Structure 1
Amino acid sequence: MSSLVVVTDTGVRTPLLQDLSPPVPHSDSGVREEEIVPLPSPNELDESKANPTDPKQRLVSLDVFRGLTVALMILVDDAGGAFPSINHSPWFGVTLADFVMPFFLFGVGVSVSLVFKKVSSKPAAIRKVMVRTVKLFLLGLVLNGGYFHGRNHLSYGVDVRQIRWMGVLQRISIGYLFVSILEIWLVNKVAVDSAVTFVQKYVIQWVVAILLGSLYMCLLYGLYVPDWAIEVTSMNLTSFASGYGSGTQIVHCGVRGNLEPPCNAVGLIDRFFLGEQHLYQHPVYRRTKECSVNSPDYGPLPPNSPGWCLAPFDPEGILSSLMAAITCFMGLHFGHIIVHYKDHMQRVILWSLSSLPLLLLGYVLDVLGILFYVSIWFAIKDQIFVSKWS
């Protein structure tokens, strides 16, 4: 016998799939309200990548440029001995190896413009810069080497009389310090919305850079270089210099504005402030025709070779580091263009026009012209801020 069961409808519906999330408030009408969020379109995804809010994001083109520069450095270091044509130029001219250092300095400038585009505390930022500068400089001293006693000496340790004060990392630290100070302290508080306001924001930096470049040119062509003497010791002599004996060699100069290896103002300043024993003892000009029978490679001294072939010379000296700082500034300036202008063609045009003063000022330096084309590569290749810090 069947029975009839009466079910009363209470108005409450139990879903088949239980939702354990917190209940959503109902409206007065009894209808459940839900917020519908549309999925982003592919264009919006690309736009979100191009304009992120995360400050720990990187400039891919800068990372690629750094990697290519490191690859170029490895190439010329390993193959430069076998192929002197890609090794550093003995003196005048430019080769593939001569681009490595300027490329690194250019990248430093671009990085500084991105790191310090917003500075909350100038004293804290400058302390960070000073600490990093000192670390780079000290690391450069360690990597230079050449001042430790060997097995045949009476004792082991550091001989401070032979320390080479300047070097590659020291030069990078000087350029980094220069552009960081410019970016932290010498930027006007102007909102960039046109080319005029862009110039107004960074005009003080340009004035300082042009003055520094002018100082370099004045010292290079205006300083009087007198005759000077070199003490030929066992530290100078090599297997290629068997014709020389220990003693004093006189280098005859008495000129101004000379750019040859023995009588330029760069060497004069380094010898005066650093001392000959603290300079690079195997300079690249020993591969010139005057100093090597195998030029442009190293080799024995030719007959009647000049005494300055054995003189030390620092390629990363004091005066030459001024123009290295200008190279960093060029990278800094292009970083400003990357920050304020997103259109690639605008970047190319602005960089071309704004680089003319420094290109004219540094016409004697072939590397500045090459950096112009590097910046165009940045402008065309760049996809700004699309990868993150690891």
Structure 2
Amino acid sequence: MGMYKLIKGDADHVIARPNENSSSNDLLSIEEGLTVVPNQKLKSSPTAIDADCSDSLPVLAAAAADASAAAAGKKKKQRQRLVSLDVFRGLTVALMILVDDAGAFFPAINHSPWNGVTLADFVMPFFLFIVGVALALAYKRVSNKTDATIKALFRALKLLVLGLVLQGGYFHGVRNLTYGVDILDIRLMGVLQRIAIAYLLAAACEIWLKSDDEVYSGWSLLKKYRLQLLVGCILSIIYMALLYGLYVPDWEYQISGPGSTVETFSVKCGVRGDAGPGCNAVGMVDRKILGIRHLYKRPVYGRAKECSVDFPKNGPLPLDAPSWCQAPFDPEGLLSSVMAIVTCLVGLQFGHVIVHFEDHKERIVHWMVPSFSLLALAFSLDFFGMQMNKALYTFSYTCITAGTAGLLFAGIYVLVDVYGIRWPTFAMEWMGMHALMIYILIACNILPVLIQGFYWRNPRNNLLKLIGV
């Protein structure tokens, strides 16, 4: 957060520039776009746009609203947030908590074991989309591109480190009063690491790859940001070329058995273009670059029909289970993160609409057209064989989640920022403004383990047990 100095922008817009001495209380709060949006009817338009450049990156979080500092001797003016972005973020946090806690009991909302999309599979892309929207507003004005790039790099590094600490090992087991991260087996990738990568690449695109062309229509908007769109297309082509073109040889992995025994499993592949759990190029790239010891040890395909007698829940292995059922696989791996960057770039383009168009109707039209186009493309690709798959982050999955995010954001914008109907979404708005705190305390189990740390005589007699958790 921090204090902001008011400067003049185009068309007498007021832009908030961060004070050099500002600081943030929220490690992961992104430079959040803030827009003054009066509570008017659909044909009304906002009169000002300002950018909130806080000290760190949003995963799930955004800085709370401050007072803007005017130039020396002038009165302070209250900043007004783009409330719809907070509500969207809060809704995504609530969705994350729901699927994490209830997904095991209701498989229909849990992550899909492999192909297909469920409610849980929208959480990560929604966060990436939100990061992109906020970046467009944060970097509306960049006075020093090199300095802005360095700051973005350090924010991404902060997020990477936090991800390694929270998701690299076992921070503190819910039922085990111990702390430890085995460096030999530390998980190198994760949710926060993926968002850091997407943030850094999208921020670099926004800082360096935009022209000075004026924007007066949808086509001129595409022209101004054509290099960013080209980057998105190139990344998509590279990803699909590697996914369907790389040769995947046979490979082995080991798991610990009873006592100190180690079992070795061989997975027969020798194929190209396979999109199944055992022989896909996404997993091979991660095994070669990251090392199989540093991948996620409980892959989602462990709930697949081939791997669980209790499908779609976790269960014992069937007698004829394939050899890959217990193999490590990282759903936030390197190659699949390429398409995560594309999702962030899509959100970036939606943010540009806020920056360059003032009329509510224009904004909504410029959001609805690409959203429906992405949805149509997603269903077409899925119909012709490129199935939606969250673990692989396929192109069709990118389209379905980005299109849905665009429609949902547009709907929230109309409800909250156009008509000013905020009371039904007050809780979501609050969660969106404190998303990092909620994520760390609840999603990363910090709150449960803190509560568990208080016990009577024996650690088993702790507060969690008392309340029935």
Native 8 Å contact 1:344 1:380 kept in 2:
no
Aligned counterpart, 2:46: 50
Is residue 263 of structure 2 the alignment partner of residue 252 of structure 1? Answer: no
Aligned with 2:402 (options 367, 371, 380): 371
**TM-score normalized by the length of structure 2:** 0.66
- Equivalents in 2 of 1:101, 1:217: separation in Å? 20
- What aligned pairs does 1:161-310 form with structure 2 within 5 A after superposition? 161-234=184-257, 246-310=262-326
Native 8 Å contact 1:174 1:325 kept in 2:
yes
Aligned with 2:104 (options 81, 93, 106): 81
Native 8 Å contact 1:227 1:250 kept in 2:
yes
Structure 1 pair 217/84, CA: closer, same or farther in 2 (3 Å)?
A: same
- Equivalents in 2 of 1:337, 1:149: separation in Å? 43
Q: Cα offset for 1:348?
A: 4.0
Aligned with 1:120 (options 137, 143, 154): 143
Aligned AA for 2:46?
Answer: A
Aligned counterpart, 1:134: 157
Q: Cα offset for 1:368?
A: 2.0
**SS of the residue 2:276 aligns to:** coil
Native 8 Å contact 2:129 2:344 kept in 1:
yes
Structure 1 pair 187/82, CA: closer, same or farther in 2 (3 Å)?
A: same
Native 8 Å contact 2:129 2:405 kept in 1:
no
Kindly indicate which of the two structures has a greater share of residues assigned to strand: 2
Q: Cα offset for 1:157?
A: 6.1
**SS of the residue 2:244 aligns to:** helix
Structure 1 pair 50/349, CA: closer, same or farther in 2 (3 Å)?
A: closer
Native 8 Å contact 2:49 2:355 kept in 1:
no
Percent identical pairs in the alignment equals: 53
- Equivalents in 2 of 1:63, 1:124: separation in Å? 27
Aligned AA for 2:311?
Answer: S
Q: Cα offset for 1:337?
A: 1.2
Q: What are the Cα deviations for residues 256-286 of structure 1, in whole angstroms up to 9, with x where unaligned? A: 1111100000000000001110000011100
Aligned counterpart, 1:315: 331
- Equivalents in 1 of 2:39, 2:330: separation in Å? 51
- Equivalents in 1 of 2:40, 2:360: separation in Å? 16
Q: Cα offset for 1:250?
A: 1.1
Native 8 Å contact 1:344 1:379 kept in 2:
no
- Equivalents in 2 of 1:149, 1:187: separation in Å? 45
**TM-score normalized by the length of structure 1:** 0.78
Aligned counterpart, 2:166: 143
Q: Cα offset for 1:127?
A: 1.5
Aligned counterpart, 2:455: none
Q: What are the Cα deviations for residues 131-153 of structure 1, in whole angstroms up to 9, with x where unaligned? A: 11000000000011426899xxx
Gaps of 5+ in 2: 1-36, 53-79, 387-395, 423-428, 435-469
RMSD, aligned α-carbons: 3.2
Q: Cα offset for 1:367?
A: 4.8
- Equivalents in 2 of 1:327, 1:137: separation in Å? 19
Q: Cα offset for 1:353?
A: 4.7
Larger mean Cα displacement after TM superposition, 280-289 or 120-129 = 120-129
Structure 1 pair 54/224, CA: closer, same or farther in 2 (3 Å)?
A: closer
Q: Cα offset for 1:354?
A: 4.8
- What aligned pairs does 1:89-128 form with structure 2 within 5 A after superposition? 89-128=112-151
**SS of the residue 1:50 aligns to:** coil
- Equivalents in 2 of 1:53, 1:174: separation in Å? 27
**SS of the residue 2:266 aligns to:** strand
**SS of the residue 2:114 aligns to:** coil
Aligned AA for 2:160?
Answer: F
Count of matched residue positions in the alignment of Structure 1 and Structure 2: 336
Q: What are the Cα deviations for residues 38-74 of structure 1, in whole angstroms up to 9, with x where unaligned? A: xxxxx99969993236545421111110010011111
**SS of the residue 2:229 aligns to:** helix
Native 8 Å contact 2:194 2:332 kept in 1:
yes
Aligned counterpart, 2:86: 63
- Equivalents in 2 of 1:372, 1:323: separation in Å? 14
Q: What are the Cα deviations for residues 222-259 of structure 1, in whole angstroms up to 9, with x where unaligned? A: 0111111112324xx8xxxx9xx733211011111111
**SS of the residue 2:264 aligns to:** strand
Structure 1 pair 44/218, CA: closer, same or farther in 2 (3 Å)?
A: closer
Q: Cα offset for 1:107?
A: 0.4
Aligned AA for 2:348?
Answer: L
Aligned counterpart, 1:17: none
**SS of the residue 2:254 aligns to:** strand
Native 8 Å contact 2:92 2:123 kept in 1:
yes
Native 8 Å contact 1:222 1:257 kept in 2:
yes
- Equivalents in 2 of 1:53, 1:175: separation in Å? 25
* Larger Rg belongs to: 1
- What aligned pairs does 1:19-30 form with structure 2 within 5 A after superposition? none
**SS of the residue 2:169 aligns to:** coil
- Equivalents in 1 of 2:243, 2:39: separation in Å? 53
Q: Cα offset for 1:370?
A: 3.9
Aligned AA for 2:262?
Answer: S
Structure 1 pair 118/253, CA: closer, same or farther in 2 (3 Å)?
A: same
- Equivalents in 1 of 2:303, 2:116: separation in Å? 13
